[in-house]
Amino acid sequence: MKRIKREISYFVFLIPSLLLFVFCIAYPFISGIQLAFTDWDGISRTYNYVGFDNFIKLLSDRNVVQPIKTTVIYGVGVTALNNVLALFLAVTLSKKLKGKAFFKTSFFVPLAISAVLASFVWKYIDSNMLSALFGHSLLGKRETVLLGIILISLWNNLGSNVMIYMAGITGISKDYEEAAMIDGANGRQRFFHITVPMLMPSFTICITLTLTASLREFGTVLAATGGGPAGSSQTVAILIYDYMFKYSRAGYAQAISLVFMFFLVIIGLVLTKFFRSKEVEA
């Protein structure tokens, strides 16, 4: 009896979350699934059910190959660079440092700039300054366009991971560090044996979320290149959007979305499970 009461006392905490989840996500999602099995054009109020046609079509659709490649390269690139830099900055900024607030703010402020304006500024820098550095602008060449967009996204979004890592580092008790220092551990040892393991909750969040968010990247690419040049930066998310709102093939777009989401969920879950299992439970 007491155990049940105890369980209920925890479950109560979940109720607001469950309500919001069902209302905002679960219900609309489930009522939207059926559209993937129709020939809906996105605007008319009638449509025909076509069974698994959309999914079969997807298997032979040549148009999805390039976007998938682009999406994977972009997602992995952003995630790796973003996390390495954010971790470095967080560690450096967690030390005693003059003008810390200034540094922190300067990495944070770009978060407040919309993707469209961030792209405008970086396109200018790209065509006027980076081009002198690399011999050509990054965004104007098929080979380097993704690198260019990755840079824009780093500038625009790095701050949030810096903050999450910093929150994680802040949570690490000074006692551990001091104890290790007394034991004679050097900086690198302390980083890998204390900071990294204690930061696991932050890794779970930052790596999983950056990866899945960048795999769904939409705004920055749309604003920076619109998927060009010659389709070389078109991501899956843009492809879905095009099918949905430009090519009037919403049923098919819905089908691609579901398949795409399926893979994202798998990736997200594998990553969270992996990092969660490394988390230290106090």
> Within positions 184 to 243, which residues make up the interface with other proteins, using CB under 8 A?
186-187, 200-202, 204-205, 208-209, 212, 216, 219, 222, 225-231, 237, 240-242
Cα–chain center distance at 149: 14
- Residue 209 CB, nearest distance to other proteins (Å)? 7
Binding string to other proteins for residues 94 to 123, with x set by CB under 8 A, is what?
-x-x---x-xxxxxxxxxxxx-xxx-xxxx
| Minimal distance, residue 149 CB to other proteins, in Å | 12
131 lines the binding site for other proteins (CB under 8 A) = yes
Position 4 contacts other proteins (CB under 8 A):
no
Query: Looking only at residues 31 through 70 of this chain, which bind other proteins when binding is defined by CB under 8 A?
Result: 31-32, 35, 41-45, 62-63
Q: Determine if the peptide bond prior to 229 is cis (ω within 30°).
A: yes
User: Minimum CB separation from other proteins for residue 133, in Å?
Assistant: 12
DSSP for 105-129, please give it: HHHHGGGGS-HHHHHHHHHHHIIII
CB of 94 to other proteins, least distance (A): 9
- The number of C-alpha atoms within 13 Å of 225 and in the hemisphere containing its C-beta is 29
User: Residues 74, 162, 262, CA angle at the centre, nearest 5°?
Assistant: 40
Helix (H, G, I), strand (E, B) or coil at 240: helix
Residue from 80, 81, 127, 180 that binds other proteins (CB under 8 A)? Answer: 127
Examine residue 281 and tell whether it contacts other proteins (CB under 8 A): yes
Q: At what angle do helices 200-215 and 250-278 cross, to 10 degrees?
A: 170
Three-state DSSP state, 172: coil
